[in-house]
Structure 1
C-alpha cells in the first residue's frame, strides 16, 4: 500500500513536470499544487526546488511571501475578513471580534468540525463598501453584524 506522503509526492511531480517548462514556473506550480491539495504540502517544496534548479530557501521565500498559499488544509468554507484601514474604520474590528467569538477560533484557525477557516486579508478592493469579507471566493460588501450572523449560520450547516 502506498503511503500518503508518496502519493502527495507523485501527484506533485506530475504537476511540476507539466509546468516547469513555462517561463517563471514557480508561481503557477504553487498555484496548481494548492488547487490539487487545497494547500501546498511542505514536503513538495524541496521537490519544486530540485525540479527548477533553485534553492529551497528561494521556494520557501516565495511560498511564505504570498498570503494565499497555505501549508495546511482549510475547512469546507474559508471566510476572509478585510483588515485594511477602510474596513477597520467602518466597524471591521468589531465584526472580526464577533466572528472569532462565534466560531471559537482565532485567525488562520479552523473550527473543530472542519466547517470554517477564518483568515485575515489586507484589502479586498471594496473600500467604498466597507467593511467587506470574502466567503469561498465571493466578495461581500457592507458587512454588518446581522449579515455576519447569517453567514455563520450558513457555513456551519
Structure 2
C-alpha cells in the first residue's frame, strides 16, 4: 500500500490536533486519534502537533517514545501482545515469549517480513489468576501454553 503524501498527512494531523487542542491535557488524545487514523504516528505529524500545542517537537517525540502503545511505523495486520508481568513470568511466560519470537522471527516491537504480525510486550492484561496471558488484536487469551500460542500465531499469519 502506498504511503500517504506528507502534505496530506500534515494537513489531516493539523485538523485532528486542532479538534483536541482545547481539551485539558490534549497531547495524549491527539496522539491516540492520529494513531487511530494512520495506524501509527507518522514522523511528519510530530512538528504539526508541536506547533498546534505550542510545545517542542522533542516533547511530542518524548511522549510518543515513552508510551509503548504508540507506534512510529505501521503495525502488522495482527498485533500479538504477550504479557511480561510477574504473574505471567512465574507461570512460564518467558519461555512462551521466546517461543513466539523464534516462531515469528522477530524481536519485541518488530513486524514479520510479510507484514502479518507485530509482536509487542505488554505489562499486565489483568488475567493474573489465569496466567500466562496474551492478546491477539483485541481478543484475550488466558492460560496460554505452547499449543494455544502456536494457534494464535497461525491465526495471526492467516
Which range, TM-score by smaller chain?
Answer: over 0.9
| TM-score, normalising length: structure 2 | 0.93
The yes-or-no answer on 1:57 pairing with 2:58 is yes
Matched position secondary structure for 2:11: helix
Q: What does residue 138 of structure 1 align with? A: 139
Which ranges of structure 1 fall in alignment gaps of 5 or more residues?
Answer: none
Contact conserved, 2:64 with 2:70, CA < 8 A, in 1? yes
Shift of the alpha carbon at 1:137?
A: 1.9
- The Cα offsets for residues 24-82 of structure 1, whole Å up to 9 and x where unpaired, read as 11111000000000001122111111111112222222222211011000000000001
Residue 150 of structure 1 corresponds to 151
> Could you tell me which residue of structure 1 aligns to residue 127 of structure 2?
126
Mapped partners of 1:46, 1:86: distance in 2: 40
Match of 1:19 in 2: 20
Q: How does 1:7-156 map to 2 (within 5 A)?
A: 7-156=8-157
Three-state SS of the structure 1 residue aligned to 2:92 is helix
The alpha-carbon deviation at position 87 of structure 1 amounts to: 0.6
Superposed CA deviations along residues 85-121 of structure 1, whole A, max 9, x for unmatched, are 1111101011111111111111111111111000111
- Give the alignment's Cα RMSD to 1 decimal: 1.2
Give the TM-score, by structure 1 length.
Answer: 0.94
SS for the counterpart of 2:109 is: coil
| Cα offset, 1:11, TM superposition | 1.3
